[in-house]
Homo-oligomer: A and B are copies of this chain.
Amino acid sequence: PLIAVLPGDGIGPEVTTQARRVLEALDLGLSFEEAPVGGAAYLQSGRPLPPETVALAKRADAVLFGAIGDPRFEALERRLRPEAALLGIRRELGLFANIRPAKLFPGLEDASPLKAEVVAGLDLVIVRELTGDVYFGEKGRRTNQEGLRQGYDWMGYDEGEVERIARIGFETARKRRRKLCSVDKANVLETSQLWRDVVNELSTEYPDVHLTHMYVDNAAMQLVRRPAEFDVIVTGNLFGDILSDQASMCAGSIGMLPSASLSGGSGANGMYEPIHGSAPDIAGQGKANPCAAILSAAMLLRHSLENEASAQRIEAAVAQALVGGARTPDLGGTHTTQQMGDAVVQALR
């Protein structure tokens, strides 16, 4: 199988290198091909998402993605910014389902700002819709009737978009503790009301899954108050973006959280990336935690290559490295990115 490697910006290359090392150490006969994306691609070719990069991603069996984002390009027009590459590739590959597990690895209770008893047993999955919502609606700037500059973005979902992501939420819950919490803002938004209606309709197909609905403001609060009570959360693109970053703190550090972006139940052509960003402030210094990228590689094996055993081997190796005391600075330790990768590779053996 062919893995497209898109390292991207900032700490993206450093962490992706370690993830690739771990995959190589498993000797699965994978081949790798790299391509530029984000600010790195813009520097080389004037485009954050070159057509060759998209072509490679489509041709590959799975995509290993680093991170994008570079403050130098923030003032460019939107379609030239690094973020345009990430949004573009999600759309081009039809990656509508973003799976973001947040799990507390043993020994990391102290790394979380939350009390140990609050995060004990934390094991949740956020299923985030990734190709709709206010992210992809019409947006722009205009002068309004009063002659004032106005910025606007259209938010919306249709029932097809909601149903397919809700289904993944229900299916995910079914394989776990059978609790699904759908998060919206139906008391204010029509987009959310449609969301809630469709989720309710679909729930008749999943009588074995306990479905609840929560407003997003309450969910943000409950994720601090009692995060361990959540099993699976399903939500839209914008709310999922916010809640998953927030949930990362329950797991100790955003440097621990992987994600999978899938185009369908099968997972073919999935993309795998840490949920953290490019962290330009620490780029190139060997300070980044590669675990999120390494655990993303595990998700790649699980979802795109259907190799559950190898996925679990990687996850166990990360756990073992942590139990052995390996800690990057975000976890309160002094391991470099490379040393953290070493510890995981060693534990694999």
Contact = CB atoms under 8 A, between A and B. Distances in A.
Nearest to A150: B158
Which 9 residue pairs across A and B have the least CB separation, nearest first? A151-B194, A152-B156, A224-B249, A220-B246, A217-B245, A150-B158, A151-B190, A148-B158, A139-B190
Interface stretch (A112-120, A316-324, A340-348): A112-120
Contacts of A243: 220
Contacts of A153: 155-156, 189-191
Given A151-B191, A151-B193, A153-B191, 4 more contacts: A114-B114, A148-B160, A217-B244, A220-B220
Interface string A241-254: 11111101110001
Interface in A31-79: 69, 74, 78
A87 B188 contact: yes
23 contacts: A81-B187, A113-B115, A113-B118, A134-B134, A134-B189, A139-B190, A150-B156, A150-B159, A151-B189, A151-B190, A151-B195, A152-B190, A153-B156, A153-B191, A154-B154, A217-B244, A217-B245, A217-B246, A218-B277, A220-B220, A221-B254, A224-B249, A225-B249
A175 interface: no
Contacts of A78: 190, 193
Nearest to A221: B245
A185 to B, nearest CB: 7
Contacts of A239: 242
A90 B151 CA distance: 22
Nearest to A239: B242
Interface string A183-219: 0010111111111001000000000000000001110
A144 interface: yes
Contacts of A150: 156-159, 194
A122 to B, nearest CB: 12
Interface in A106-128: 113-115, 118
B155 A154 contact: yes
Contact of A113 (B114, B146, B217, B241): B114
